[in-house]
Amino acid sequence: MALTSDKIFVNLPVKDLNKSVAFFKAVGYEFNPQFTDENATCMVISDKIYAMLLVEDYFKSFTKSGISDTSTGNEVIVALSAESRAQVDEIVDRAFAAGAQHYNDPADHGFMYTRSFKDPDGHLWEFMHMDESAIQG
């Protein structure tokens, strides 16, 4: 039997929780107030995907290693699907309008289209639309 999980919680350290919340609200995300205080918030990506934005000192209480310096490297790229190419553009354009930094140029592979950005804490986010009917099985 294959191992499966029904939800994902991505934990990301942030320098300024209020700034991060404002940024991601501008992108279009909502937050669960039940899991929000001065140390953390739960960003709702979907009914099964959440990003826990944790103030750096609080994040450190969950790990024995240091926090990655996003100005010199990254530990993860959060890659999320979108319903269409237009939705990819809409999401990433909102992120840029909210102050995101450019990361990679858009990539069009025919069956898959991607765009990406860095959030205010330097975390990499990639949005993609894949035409699954174009993939030969």
Mean pLDDT of 29-54: 97
Residue 123 lies in a domain: yes
Q: Are 133 and 84 in contact (CB under 8 A)?
A: no
Least confident of 3-12, 23-32, 85-94, 114-123: 3-12
CATH of the domain at 25: 3.10.180.10
Which amino acid appears at position 87 of this protein? Q
Give 119-132 pLDDT, tens digit per residue: 999 999 999 999 87
Range of 13's domain?
Answer: 8-61+69-134
Q: How many domains does the chain have?
A: 1
Read off the pLDDT band of 3 (50, 70, 90).
confident
Return the C-alpha torsion angle 85, 22, 124, 135, nearest 10.
-20
Distance CA 119, CA 25 (A): 12
